[in-house]
Amino acid sequence: MTDTTGTRAPHEAGPETILQVDGLNVDFWVEGEFYPAAIDMNYRVGRGEVLAIVGESGSGKSTSSMALLGLLPENARVTGSITLQGRQLRGVDDATLRTLRGNEIAVIFQEPMTALNPVYTVGFQIVEALRSHDRSLAPSEAKDKAVELLRLVEMPDPDQAFHKYPHQLSGGQRQRAMIAQSISCDPLLLIADEPTTALDVTVQAEILDLLRNLHKRLDSAIILITHDMGVVADLADRIMVMKNGEVVESGTVDAIFHAPQHPYTQQLLASVPHLGLGVLEEVEHGPDHVETDTSSVPVMAAVRERASQAEPVAEARTPVLSFQDVAIDYPKRGRIPAFRAAEHIDLEIYPGEIMGLVGESGSGKTTLGRAAIGLLPIADGTLTTVGVDISHASQKDLFAIRRRTGIVFQDPASSLNPRMPIGQSIGEPLLLSGEAKGDALDRRVETLLDQVELPASYRNRFPHELSGGQRQRVGIARALALAPELLIADEPTSALDVSVQARFLDLLQELQSRLQFACLFISHDLAVVDILAHRISVMHHGKLVETGTRDQILRGAKDPYTQRLIAAVPVPDPDEQRVRREARAALLKSAG
C-alpha cells in the first residue's frame, strides 16, 4: 500500500515495476541560488498501470516527469534515483538518453501543434521516429508501419493523413498523430502531459477511449499529468497529488476520490465543476468549507438559488444582443476557399442574463462571439448589439458600440501587450475613450484591480510576471473598464487549474450579479456552463440546435447531438464515470 506521503511500503505487491523513483529532487539555479521544484519524491509505476500526477500549475508535475528523460534546462539540478526496469537512468550520458527517448520512454506533449514539426508531414515524422531507433528498417516498411500506427490510433483515412501537415489536421487528429508517434517504438513507459487540455468534450472522450484501449493492448505503463479530475476518474488506477513540489497524498483512485485525507486534495476535489451540482458559492462555515494553509477557497455546492432567477421575462425587456436569422461567411484566404461558418442564427440575451454557448471546436461559437461586437461582418439577417443595428455598421458605429461592450479572450497571455504594464493595459480603454486620464485614470485602474481581487501594486507588473489565473483577472478588469452592457467571454477558463478556475468563476459570477451586464459565455466545458449560465444554447456545424434553461438542456436535452455532448463530459467520480462511459458507448452505438 502507499501512504499519504507517497512512500512505498517495503514489500508492496502488484504488477511488475517498470519505473521506480526514490528521493527525487529537482532544483533550478536562479539569480545565485537554487529553488526547489520537486522535493523527495518516491513512487513506482507498474506494467499496465496508469498513475495520475495531479496538482496546480507550478506544483512540479511536469518538471519531475521531464527529469526522467533529462529534458530539463541547463540550470536544473537533479538528485535521487530513477530506475527503469532496474536500470539507473540518472547520470547516464546524452547518447544513452537519446536511445531511451521514444524507444523505452515516450511523451505525449500537451500541445501537438508545437510538438509536431510544421514543415514535415505527420507521416514523415512517424517514419523518422521509427528509423532513428531501427536503422535496419527499410523506408517502405517504415511507411507501412506508420500508416498502421495511424490506423491503430483511429485516425480517419490513415493513408491520406500520412501525407498531411499538422496544420491540415484538426486538434483531435493532431493529438492522434502525436500519440501514434509516441507509441511507434512500443515504449515501456508513456508520459501523457495534459493530453486533453485543449480538446472539446467529445474529442477528449475519444482520446481517453483511445489511450485506455492502447494501454490495455500494449500493456505499457502510463504517467498521466493533468489538472482535470474528470480525466483522472476516467483513466487512472492510482493518483499522486502534488503541491509546491511535494507529494502530499497518494493512493488508489477510489481512495483519493472517496476519502481524501490531505486538506489540499480536499480543496482540489471541492473546486472541480461537476455537471448537475449547481452553482459555485463561497461557503463561510459548515462541512463543505475547506481551509488551506493559504486561503479559503470556493467549493461546489448542490444549491439552486439562481434557478428561480434563470429566466428573464423576455416580454418586459429589450434584448442587449439579438441575432435574427443571421449568417456569417469567411472570405477566401489564399488557398482556403470562402465558406459559411454560421447560418440561421436566432438568439437573444437580456440584461443581467448569462447565456452559455456550447459546442465542439469548429462549431461556430467564437464566430458568433466576434460577430456580436462587430469583429466579424454578417452576410445575412439582422444583428442588434446594445440597441444598435450593426448588420451593416460603419467603423464609426462599431467604435461607438465597443465602448458599451467588452470581451475576455481565451488566452490572456496573447491578448495582453507583453511590453505594457497591466495597469496601462487596463486603463487603455478608458484613456482612448476619453473617460479618464491622469489621477482619475489611476484611481479607476485601482478600483478595477480591486474588483477583480488583485492588489493595486500589481499595476506595475508585466503579463509574464503573473500566473494564468491572474492574467485572466486582468482580462476581466480591462473588459469591464467601460462598464459594458454586454460581455463576451470566449473560453476564459480552458487553460486554468481547477482551483484557480473555481476562484475565477466565483469572481465572474459575483461581478455579473452586482453589475448586471449581459454575458455570452462561450465554452466547451458543460460543467462550467452549468455553474454560471441562466440559459444555454447548443451549436453544431454552424447552427443552433437547441436553446433553453440549464435544466432543459443539461437534464432534459431533446437533440441527439446535445445528448452526445452531455454523455461525453467526464465527471470527478470513478464509479459514476464508469456508468457514464457505458451509457455513452450505448448512445454512440444506437446512433450508428
Compute the Cα dihedral for 484, 489, 495, 496 and give only its sign.
positive
What is the mean pLDDT of the segment spanning 544-552? 95
Start-to-end C-alpha separation, the chain? 44
Q: How many CB atoms lie within 10 A of CB 292?
A: 14
pTM of the model: 0.75
Q: How many CB atoms lie within 10 A of CB 255?
A: 17
Output the DSSP codes for 203-246.
Answer: HHHHHHHHHHHHHHHH--EEEEEES-HHHHHHH-SEEEEEETTE
Render the burial of 470-494: b for 16+ CB within 10 Å, e for the rest.
bbbbbbbbbbbbbebbbbbbbbbbb
User: According to the model, what pLDDT value does residue 288 have?
Assistant: 37
What is the mean pLDDT of the segment spanning 69-77? 90
* Tens digits of residue pLDDT in 517-531: 999 999 988 888 998
* Tens digits of residue pLDDT in 451-474: 888 899 889 988 888 877 788 889
d(CA 475, CA 504): 11
Residue 142 near residue 127 (C-beta atoms within 8 A): yes
Kindly calculate the radius of gyration of the chain based on its CA atoms and give it in whole angstroms: 25
**What strand order describes the sheet that includes 87-88?**
33-46, 17-30, 76-84, 87-88
Distance, CA of 264 to chain centre = 21
Residue 2, pLDDT above cutoff 50: no
Residue 301, pLDDT above cutoff 60: no
Place of cell 539569480: 31
Place of cell 527499410: 138
Distance, CA of 403 to chain centre = 30
d(CA 179, CA 190): 10
d(CA 410, CA 392): 27
Place of cell 460603419: 394
User: According to the model, what pLDDT value does residue 536 have?
Assistant: 96
pLDDT category, 592, cuts 50, 70, 90?
A: low
CATH of 317-556, picked from 3.40.50.10860, 3.40.50.300, 3.40.50.12280, 2.30.31.70, is: 3.40.50.300
SS3 state of residue 234: helix
Percent of the chain clearing pLDDT 70 (strictly above): 90
User: According to the model, what pLDDT value does residue 80 have?
Assistant: 96
Cell of 47: 506494467
Distance, CA of 507 to chain centre = 19
User: According to the model, what pLDDT value does residue 122 have?
Assistant: 95
CA angle 582, 193, 74 (to 5 degrees): 170
CA angle 351, 356, 360 (to 5 degrees): 150
In 3D space, the residue among 469, 447, 459 whose CA is nearest the CA of residue 297 turns out to be 469
* Tens digits of residue pLDDT in 369-392: 999 999 999 999 999 999 999 999
User: According to the model, what pLDDT value does residue 298 have?
Assistant: 41
Query: Any idea which of 228-242, 271-285, 369-383 has the lowest mean pLDDT?
Result: 271-285
What is the mean pLDDT of the segment spanning 125-130? 94
- Mean pLDDT, the chain, rounded, equals 85
CA angle 2, 239, 203 (to 5 degrees): 160
Residue 13, pLDDT above cutoff 70: no
Between strands 535-540 and 518-523, the pairing is unpaired
